[in-house]
Structure 1
Amino acid sequence: MTAYGSALLLVLGSLTATATATAASAAAPAAPATVPNSRELCGPGSAIKFVRSDFPSTPRIDNKWNPLTPGMQYTTTGEVVSADGTKSVHTVVHTVTGLTKVINGVKTLVLWDRDYSDGELVESELAFFSQSKKGSVWLFGEYPEEYENGHRVGAPSTFISGIDKAQAGIAMQGDPHRNTPAYVQAYAPSVDFLDCGDVRYKHQRICVPTGCYNDVMVIDEFNPLDPPSAGHQRKYYSAGTGLVKVTAVSGADQEFMDLVKIKKLSRSELESVNAQALKQDRRGYTVSKDVYAKTPRAVVSTPAGGAS
C-alpha cells in the first residue's frame, strides 16, 4: 500500500472514532447540573452553615418561638405509648439556668432538663444554646446523664460541637416558614445523633393546661438515619412562649406531652438550680473524659435573675 493510502486510512479511522464517540456522548443521559452536597444531611439545602463570628460575645436568646430567659422553668407532661400498648407517664422539667459555657468558641446558655418516667428520674441533661445575630437559636451539644433505679449509669450519648466531628445545628430558625428546606438541628456521628426540622404548619390554635394559644407553629422532627419504624415527632411552638405540645406521627414508641406549668424562679430557687447544674457540669469531667472533659467549665453569669 502506498504511503498516501496508509495516510488516508489513518484519517478515515480517526474520523470514524470521533463520530462514534460523539454519537455515544449524545446517547448518554446528561449529567445533572448540580450534585447534592454530601453534607446536606436532611435533604437538599440543609448543609450546616456554622460561622463562629455570627454569634455575639454575650448570649441572649429572645427568638419569639423559643425564648430562653435565665430563671424560667417549663414543665411538660404526658405519656409514652409503646408498640405493645404499654403506657408510661413522662414528665420533663426544662429550666433555663444562669450558667454559660463556651462550646466550639461560642458562649452558650445552659438549659437543664430533668426527665422522669412514672415519677422516676431517668435522665438529667445539660444542653447548650446560643442565638445568632440573625435570630436563629443553635444547639451546640448535650451532656445527658442516664439513671436506672435511682442510680447514675453514665452519659454515653454526650456530644459537643467541634469534638468527634459533631456539629452544631439550628434548634429554631430566626424566621421560620413553610415550604422551605428541612434543616439540621444537630449532628453527632459518633453517637448516631441527627435531628432534622421541617416547618409543617403555622397559625394553628392549640389548648393545653397552661391555656389556649392561637399563633402556633408545628415542626416535624425526624432522623433520616433511623428506620421508618422510628417515626416522626411533631412539636408545637407558640409565639412568645415556646414549646407547648409534643405529639407522635408514627413509630414504635410514641410520645404525647403538653405544657402544664410555667414558672419564674425566685432568686433563691435560681441560685439552687445554678448550684445543681454546676455540680453536674463538674461531674461531666470524670463521667465523659473523652468528650465533655475537653470543654471549658461552665460559669455562673446570672446568679440571681429570678424574681426576688
Structure 2
Amino acid sequence: MAVRAHRFSAYGSALLLAVGSLTVMSAGTADAAPPSPELCGPGSAINFDRSDFQATPRIDNKWFPLKPGMQFTTTGTVTSADGVYERTVVHSVTGLTKVIDGITTRVMWDRDYADGKLVESELAFFAQTRQGAVWLFGEYPEEYENGEFIGAPSTFISGIAKAQAGIAMQAKPRTGTPDYVQAYAPKVDFLDCGTVLKKDQHVCVRTGCYNDVLVIDEYNPLEPPEAGHQRKFYSAGTGLVKVTAVGGTNQEFMDLVKVQKLGAAQFAAINAAALDQDERGYTVSRSVYAKTPRAQLDGP
C-alpha cells in the first residue's frame, strides 16, 4: 500500500501531513518551546504547566478513560484519491509508562490495518491534569508497506524539536468555547485543533446506543480549506465510539465495534510487544525518540 498523504488516528491525531520521505526525522532540540501563539485561533495558546499534572498516570476523564488492560476496536472505511479501503484500528491501553517532557505518561498502543494488512503500529503518550484534562505528549508511529517496516518519519515528542503537548480532551468540554491545540510539532507539519461542536447527542454503533455523546470537530489549519474536518464522537464512561468526516478528499468513517478487558496472558503479550516497539525507537528515531527515557512496566 502506498504511503498515505494523511494519517488518521482515532485516539491520537486527526490529520498529519506526510514529510515526503521514509527516513527518520532531522535532529531536534530538547530545549523548551517558546511561548505558544494562538495556533488554533483566539484563546487557543497552549498553557502547559508541569505542576498541573498528577504524579501517577491515572486517566479517568469520563470522555477519555484509559484504564490499563482495556482494548477498543474500531472499524470502517477510508476514501482517498487511491480508492476505498477497509480500516481496522485496535487500541490497547498498556501497563507501561514513559516520562516525556518531565511528565509520567500512560502508553497507548495502536495497531492500524488497511484491508487486513498492518500499515501502522503506534505508541501514543497521554497524561491527565489534576483538573481532569487529558493531554497528548507525542507519538511514535511505525509505518509498514506490504508487510515491511519502512520507517517512522512522523515521530514527535513534546519538548524535542519544538514539539508541544496539547489537550486531547478537556476536563469539562463546553460548546461555544475557544478552539484548542491538541498537539503541535512543526518539524513534521503537525498541528491538530479541536472544537467542542455538540453535546448530548444520540449515536448507535455495534457496541450499543449512546445518549450522552460529545462531538469534537478536528482540523489542521496548516492545510487548505478543502482538506476537510474530522469529527469524533465520545460517550461518557466509554470514550471514542464513532469517527466521521466533513468535506475533503480523504474521508474516514469508523465505528466502535468491540470493547474488552484483556486477560492476564493477553495483557502481558500487549505490554511485551509495546516494550519491543519502544526499544526499536531508539534505533529508528535517533534524533527524537532516542532522547526519551525508556518505557517502564507498572509495578505490582
TM-score range, shorter chain: 0.7 to 0.9
Residues 282-297 of structure 1 mapped to structure 2, 5 A cutoff: 282-297=279-294
Structure 2 residues without counterparts, runs of 5 or longer = 1-34
Residues 194-213 of structure 1 mapped to structure 2, 5 A cutoff: 194-213=191-210
Runs of 4+ in 1 over 4 A off after TM superposition: none
**Equivalent residue in structure 1 for 2:61, among 60, 63, 68:** 63
**Equivalent residue in structure 2 for 1:115, among 112, 117, 122:** 112
Q: Which has the larger radius of gyration?
A: 1
Provide the C-alpha distance between the structure 2 equivalents of 1:233 and 1:71, rounded to a whole number of angstroms: 28
Residues 1-308 of structure 1 mapped to structure 2, 5 A cutoff: 39-83=37-81, 86-301=83-298
CA contact (8 A) 1:99 1:302 kept: no
Cα distance, 1:239 vs structure 2: 0.6
State the SS of the aligned residue for 1:44: coil
Provide the C-alpha distance between the structure 2 equivalents of 1:121 and 1:228, rounded to a whole number of angstroms: 30
> In structure 2, what is the equivalent of residue 25 of structure 1?
none
Provide the C-alpha distance between the structure 1 equivalents of 2:65 and 2:36, rounded to a whole number of angstroms: 32
CA contact (8 A) 2:36 2:46 kept: no
Identical residues among aligned pairs (%): 72
Cα distance, 1:83 vs structure 2: 4.2
Provide the C-alpha distance between the structure 2 equivalents of 1:76 and 1:228, rounded to a whole number of angstroms: 27
Provide the C-alpha distance between the structure 2 equivalents of 1:296 and 1:244, rounded to a whole number of angstroms: 33
Q: Deviations over 1:112-153 (max 9, x none)?
A: 000000000000000000000010000000000000000000
Provide the C-alpha distance between the structure 1 equivalents of 2:236 and 2:54, rounded to a whole number of angstroms: 23
Provide the C-alpha distance between the structure 2 equivalents of 1:114 and 1:150, rounded to a whole number of angstroms: 13
Number of equivalenced pairs: 266
Matched to 1:79, the amino acid is: T
Matched to 1:284, the amino acid is: G
> In structure 1, what is the equivalent of residue 30 of structure 2?
none
Q: Deviations over 1:46-66 (max 9, x none)?
A: 000000111111110000000
Matched to 1:197, the amino acid is: G
Provide the C-alpha distance between the structure 1 equivalents of 2:97 and 2:201, rounded to a whole number of angstroms: 34
Provide the C-alpha distance between the structure 2 equivalents of 1:209 and 1:250, rounded to a whole number of angstroms: 25
Cα distance, 1:82 vs structure 2: 2.0
Cα distance, 1:227 vs structure 2: 1.2
Matched to 1:192, the amino acid is: D
Matched to 1:81, the amino acid is: T
Cα distance, 1:302 vs structure 2: 5.7
Provide the C-alpha distance between the structure 2 equivalents of 1:49 and 1:82, rounded to a whole number of angstroms: 35
Provide the C-alpha distance between the structure 1 equivalents of 2:256 and 2:74, rounded to a whole number of angstroms: 4
State the SS of the aligned residue for 2:127: strand
> In structure 1, what is the equivalent of residue 27 of structure 2?
none
Matched to 1:179, the amino acid is: G
Matched to 1:164, the amino acid is: A
Cα distance, 1:229 vs structure 2: 2.1
Structure 1 residues without counterparts, runs of 5 or longer = 1-36, 304-308
Provide the C-alpha distance between the structure 1 equivalents of 2:248 and 2:163, rounded to a whole number of angstroms: 26
Matched to 1:88, the amino acid is: Y
Structure holding more helix per residue: 1
Provide the C-alpha distance between the structure 2 equivalents of 1:283 and 1:206, rounded to a whole number of angstroms: 39
Cα distance, 1:203 vs structure 2: 0.4
Give RMSD over aligned pairs: 1.1
Cα distance, 1:230 vs structure 2: 1.2
Provide the C-alpha distance between the structure 2 equivalents of 1:188 and 1:100, rounded to a whole number of angstroms: 22
